[in-house]
Structure 1
């Protein structure tokens, strides 16, 4: 299994992570035709260097949201216990972008926390 993501979106996500540093950022990924193409920034975020919280009740009902993304302001791209709990609630695919926020620092996980590949589409 692989996640497919548009290069333009991936580059934008890397910039969001850099701009949020030293805090985390979070968003929801929209998928069209099997490819992640758009991000919705988490509503009303409260971000810090070790977590980001937001009000999930403010999310729109949107069947095209198939994944999440958040940054880690450390070089550790692995999901924490809190991440795994969050993953289990939202289903789909979850991207973690670790410091220093390059394409090599992006990992994708299933809702169970299993790492999966990433295919960047130009």
Structure 2
């Protein structure tokens, strides 16, 4: 994947979620339709703490439209941690990190190999 395409409404909602959960992290799964991320799914019974977010992916129904993940960092660093990179390599797809102060400029996208990908917002 060369670029990550995401609907404006979803981007705005993800930023709002990050602000609402602050100072804790939040995490979810991203649904894609026709090459554009359009929805987020929050796994049942998640744990969102100040230094990590945990959810059991086995709690989600099988959904072939899930092509990525998203999580927030309560600090200003949008770079993936070692734990993030390990998760990326196991889950695959696209991974968004939303860093404090939770504005569009603090969102980064990464491939499963940890390589940063450009983001395109579509209306």
TM-score, scaled relative to structure 1: 0.98
Aligned residues between the structures:
122
Aligned pairs for 1:39-58 (under 5 A) are: 39-58=40-59
Which residue does the alignment assign to 2:29?
Answer: 28
Stretches of structure 1 that go unaligned for 5 or more consecutive residues are none
Provide the rounded CA distance (Å) in 2 between the counterparts of 1:79 and 1:70: 10
Instruction: Give 1:88 deviation, angstroms.
Output: 1.0
Please list every run of 5 or more consecutive structure 2 residues that lacks an aligned counterpart in the other structure: none
Residues 11-68 of structure 1: per-residue CA shift (max 9 Å, x gap): 0000000000000000000000000000001221111111001112101100000000
What does 1:49-88 align with in structure 2 at a 5 Å threshold? 49-88=50-89
- Distance in 2 (CA, whole Å) between partners of 1:54 and 1:43 is 8
Which SS does the other structure have where 1:9 is aligned?
A: helix
Aligned-partner SS, 1:50: coil
Q: Tell me, in whole angstroms, the C-alpha distance in 2 between the residues paired with 1:34 and 1:71.
A: 23
Runs of 4+ in 1 over 2 A off after TM superposition: none
How well do the aligned residues superpose, as a CA RMSD in angstroms?
Answer: 0.6
Between the aligned partners of 2:18 and 2:62, the Cα distance in structure 1 is 25
SS at match of 2:118: strand
Query: Given the two structures, how large is their TM-score scaled by the length of structure 2?
Result: 0.97
